[in-house]
Amino acid sequence: MTAKDITDALLALEDERQREVLLRFFKTGKGEYGEGDKFLGIRVPEVRLVAKTAVELPLEEVPTLLLSPWHEVRLCGLLILTYQMERLCRQRLLDDPKAIKERDAIVALYLQYADRANNWDLVDLSAPKIIGNWLLVPTRLGDKTQVLDLLADSPVLWRQRIAMVSTWKTTQQGDPSYALRYAERLLHHPHDLMHKAVGWMLREVGKRGNKDLLETVLEQHAATMPRTTLRYAIEQLPENERIYWMNKKNLQQNP
């Protein structure tokens, strides 16, 4: 199978009616964050089915998919990378030199083409399973924090979101340090999509047995963080606690 085979398979699934829905949903109008993106009108489960037939795709074929003008073709390329990465992160392969090399090659390619994950769904469906898994396994690519710092400090929204949502995986595995580091770094980002991502990752910290850490962040920043971030962060807390933190925000805005 080649990238062309995969692209042809996706083109055959084109759905004009669904395309119009996706164009609106992913904000492709002038001045919106997805301006100019092109959709075939294929639902994610259908893209996944195509991607699962191509898990053996050679890595050198993937850039052709990532460079496609079609959103769903890029998504398929990213999903193929996630399936390949997850397979290489099995327990028996964690310290295997060949597996380490192949994982690092996937991460390097993903970072090289990170700008092609240029909408929130492309980031959210790929970053936790590629970069997130990589944070948990041996590597020869160097300092992992430095890699994420470069993403977080990028002027590109999507690279910043990659840095933030990649921390989901480490938080799930009991290490909230990455999530807290990049939440602090990106807390006052100007874009609503980052407000949601930061709040989401803070909520995950609280959900994974680290409510005290979440409360520490809230004590320091609830009054000044974006309202959307705060709402996402406290979403899983009891109602009385949600009211308490929202009141802190309201008092700051209306002293």
Q: How confident is the model at residue 209 (pLDDT cuts 50, 70, 90)?
A: confident
pLDDT (average), residues 15-20? 96
User: How is residue 250 written in tokens?
Assistant: 């309201």
Q: Is 143 exposed, middle or buried (0-12, 13-18, 19+ CB in 10 A)?
A: exposed
| pLDDT score, position 73 | 98
Q: What is the enclosing helix (H) or strand (E) of 249?
A: helix 239-253
Render pLDDT for 33-75 as a digit per residue (tens, 0 to 9): 999 999 999 999 999 999 999 999 999 999 999 999 999 999 9
Q: Which helix (H) or strand (E) holds 250?
A: helix 239-253
Give me the numbers of helices (H) and strands (E) for the chain, helices first please.
17, 0
> Given pLDDT bands bounded at 50, 70 and 90, which one contains residue 250?
confident
Q: What is the pLDDT of residue 252?
A: 63
Percent of the chain with pLDDT over 90: 95
Residue-wise DSSP of 172-188 = HTT--HHHHHHHHHHTT
The encoded tokens of residue 116 equal 């092609």
**Range 150-177 average pLDDT:** 97
pLDDT in tens, 185-208: 999 999 999 999 999 999 999 998
Classify burial at 179, counting beta carbons within 10 Å of its beta carbon; exposed 0-12, middle 13-18, buried 19 or more: buried
Grade residue 251 by pLDDT with cuts at 50, 70 and 90: low
Residues 6 or more apart from 206 whose CB is under 8 A from it?
213, 214, 215, 233, 236, 237
Task: Provide the CA 48 distance to its chain's centre, in angstroms.
Answer: 17
Tokens of 70: 């079609």
- Using alpha carbons, list the distances in angstroms from residue 210 to 4, 21, 141, 165, 206: 46, 39, 30, 17, 5
Provide the pLDDT confidence category of residue 254 given band limits of 50, 70 and 90.
Answer: low
Q: How far is CA 43 from the centre of its chain?
A: 18
